[in-house]
Structure 1
Amino acid sequence: MSTESSYYVPEQSKLPVLAALGMGLMAYGAGSWVQGGSALVLLAGAIVMVFTLYNWFSTVIHENMAGMNSAQLKRSYVWGMSWFIFSEVMFFACFFGALFYVRVLALPWLGGEGGHAGNDLLWEGFEPAWPLMTTPDMAVNGENAQFMGPEQHMSFPGWANLLGWLPLWNTIVLLSSSVTVHIAHTALKNSNRAKFNLWLGVTVLLGAIFIVLQIEEYIHAYQHMGLTLESGIYGTTFFMLTGFHGAHVTMGTIMLLIMFLRGLKGHFSPDDQFGFEAASWYWHFVDVVWVGLFIFVYVLA
C-alpha cells in the first residue's frame, strides 16, 4: 500500500540485531588486532555485516520496486542520507582540525613561541618545521629514539619519476569521476539507459583506479620513504587523513558498483532514482574532501 497519507512499516526483522552484532565484533576485533591479537574476530564481524547489509538493502530495493514506499518514506531516505553525509563532513573536519592544530599551534609551541618552553631548554637541535622530519625524541636520543621521523615527506611533486605525481593523477581521476557520474545522472533523467550504464561504469572504473594508485603510493611510502604510521605526528596525520579518505572512496566505489549492477537490471527511472542519487551525492562528497587533502597534505606540505 502506498499513498500520500500512509507510511509503510515493514514487518519485524532480525537484521538490526545482526547489524549490532557485526559492528560489535568488528570494534572488539579491531581493538584486539592492533594490540597484537588475531584478526579473525574482525573478519567474522565484517562477514556478519556484509551478510546483514546485503539482505537489508535487498529488502529495501524489493519494497521500492514493488511500489510499497510512500512519499513520506522516500523523504526520510533523503533526510537520512543528508544527515549521514553531514556526519562524514564532521568526521573529516576533526582530522583537518588536528592537522591545523599540529602545524599552526603545537609546533610553534614546541619551538618556544608564545612563552612556551622551547627547543633550547628541552630538545636541543629540534627544528619545529612542517613536515616534521625530526621528532623531539630524535633530537634528544638520536637513533635510540622511540619515535623516529620519516626519511622523506610526501610533498607534491616528491619522487624523482612519474610516480611522484601520483597525488596529481589521483586528483585528476577523482575530478574526472565527478564529471562522469554527473553525465550518468543526466542520462538517467533523460531516460537514456545505455548512456547511463556506460558512464556509471566508467565512474566505477575510475574509482578502482584511484584505489590502486593509492595502494601503490602507500607501498612506496613504507618501503622507500620511511613514512609509516609510526613515523611521528607527520606520518600519523598523513595516513589517518589519506587512509580514511581511501576507505571512503572504496565504500563509494562499492555503492556505485551496486548502482551500476542495478542499472543493468533495469532499475531506476527519471522519477524514481534516489538509490543512485544518494550514491552520487556521496561520491561528490569524497571528491571535495580529496581536493582539500591534495591542497593541505600534499601541495602545502
Structure 2
Amino acid sequence: MLSKEQFKYLKTTHSYHLVDPSPWPIVAAFGAFMLTSGGVLYMHKFIGGWNLFLTGFTIILYVMYTWWRDVIREATFEDQHTVVVQKGLRLGMILFIVSEVMFFFAFFWAFFHSSVAPVYNIGGVWPPKAITTINTYAVPLTNTFLLLTSGATVTWAHHAILVRAKKHTLVALIFTLVLASLFTGLQGLEYVSAPFSISDGVYGSCFFLATGFHGFHVFIGTIALLVSFIRIVYNHFTDKHHFGFESAIWYWHFVDVVWLFLFINVYWWSNAGV
C-alpha cells in the first residue's frame, strides 16, 4: 500500500493520470446487480422485483452523474488529462465505436439472411406478402436529410471550437440539437403510423430492432451533444482540450453512417421491388 506522499510523488513524475480512490466502481457494480436481478425477478412475477429494478436503475443514474462529474473536474479544473491520457481516451472511444459497429452488424446480418434468400414461410419473397411497407420517400427520406444536415452542422461546431469561435460553436450545436430532435420526433410518428409491428414476423423484427436501436443511439448522441453544449457555455473546453466534445462528434458521425446503411437497405432496397 502506497502512502499519500508516495502516491503524490508518482502522480508528478509521469504523464499518466493516477485517479484518486473512488467509491463509484463498487457502487455501480451493486446498482447493476440490483438492476439485472430486479428485472429478472419482475419478469418472473416475484414480489419486490420491480422495486429492486427501480432501485438499481436509480443507483446507476446517480453513479453516472457523480462519476462523470468527477471526470469533468479532473479534466477541466485539475488539468489531469495530459496529452498521453487524451490519447488513451481517444483509443478507448475508437474501440467503443468499433464494438457498436459489430452490434449493428448483427442486425444487418439478420436482415440480409432473411431478405436475400426468403424462405417459403414468408411466401418466398421480400418483403413478405402480408407486409405493407413504409413509403421510402416520405418520413425516411426526410429523416435522412435531417440527419445528414446535422452531421454538417456538428462538423461546423467542431471547426468553430478549433478556431476559438465560441458563438459559432454554440449556434451550430443548437442547429444540430434541433435537427436531432426533429429526427427523433418523426421516427416516433413513423412508428405510431407503421402498418406493421415488431411481432409481424422476421420483417417486423428486423425493421424495429435495427431502426429502434439506431433511434436509441440518436437519443444518446443528442444527450452527449446537449451536455457538450452546456459545458461550452461554462467554458470547460478550449481549442486544444475538448475531447469530451470531440468524442460526442465521433459518435454522432457513426450514427449518421449507420442511418445511411439503414435507409439504403431497410427502406429503399426492401421496397424497390414493391
Shared fold by TM > 0.5? yes
RMSD: 2.2
**2:61 matched residue in structure 1:** 50
1:213: which partner in 2?
186
In 2, the alpha carbon distance for the partners of 1:36 and 1:204 equals 40
With the length of structure 1 as denominator, give the TM-score of the two structures.
0.79
d(CA) in 2 for partners of 1:88, 1:171: 20
The alpha-carbon deviation at position 32 of structure 1 amounts to 5.5
* Residues 1:97 and 2:93 are matched in the alignment: no
Q: Of residues 19, 26, 29 in structure 2, which corresponds to 1:20?
A: 29
| CA distance 1:36–1:169, shift in 2 (3 Å) | farther
Q: Contact 1:3 / 1:71 at 8 angstroms: preserved in 2?
A: no
Q: 1:131·1:234 contact (CA, 8 Å) conserved in 2?
A: yes
The AA in structure 1 aligned to 2:145 is I
Aligned length: 258
Q: 2:222 aligns with which of 253, 276, 283?
A: 253
Alignment of 1:128-207 (within 5 A): 128-134=124-130, 150=131, 152-157=132-137, 165-207=138-180
Cα separation, partners in 2 of 1:153 and 1:55, compared to 1, 3 Å: same
Counterpart amino acid of residue 216 in structure 1: L
Identity %: 37
Question: What secondary structure does 1:300 align onto?
Answer: helix
> What is the CA–CA distance in structure 2 between the aligned matches of 1:32 and 1:214, rounded to whole Å?
32
Structure 1 unaligned runs (5+)? 112-122, 135-149, 158-164
Alignment of 1:81-96 (within 5 A): 81-96=93-108
Contact persistence 1:155–1:300 (CA under 8 A): no
Distance 1:36 1:248 in 2: 30
Is residue 190–residue 270 contact of structure 1 (8 Å, CA) maintained in 2? Answer: yes
What letter corresponds to residue 280 of structure 1 in structure 2?
I
Paired residues for 1:262-273 under 5 Å? 262-273=231-242
Which stretch has the larger CA shift, 35-44 or 66-75? 35-44
Deviations 1:145-186, CA, capped at 9 Å, x for gaps: xxxxx4x222414xxxxxxx1111111110000000000011
Q: State the match for 2:268 in structure 1.
A: 299
What CA deviation, in whole Å up to 9, does each residue of 1:268-294 have, x standing for no partner? 111111110000000000010001000
Gaps of 5+ in 2: 1-7
Distance (whole Å) between structure 2 residues aligned to residue 242 and residue 60 of structure 1 = 32
Q: Which amino acid is the alignment partner of residue 49 of structure 1?
A: I
* CA deviations over 1:24-53 (Å, ceiling 9, x no partner): 344345556666787554443332222111
- Mapped contact 1:155–1:297 kept (Cα < 8 A): no
Question: Measured at CA, do residues 34 and 98 of structure 1 come closer, stay the same or move farther in structure 2, by a change above 3 Å?
Answer: farther
What is the one-letter code of the residue matched to 1:171? T
Alpha-carbon distance in structure 2 between the residues aligned to 1:31 and 1:131: 35
What is the aligned partner in structure 2 of residue 274 from structure 1? 243
Secondary structure at the counterpart of residue 116 of structure 2: helix
Code of the aligned partner of 2:103: F
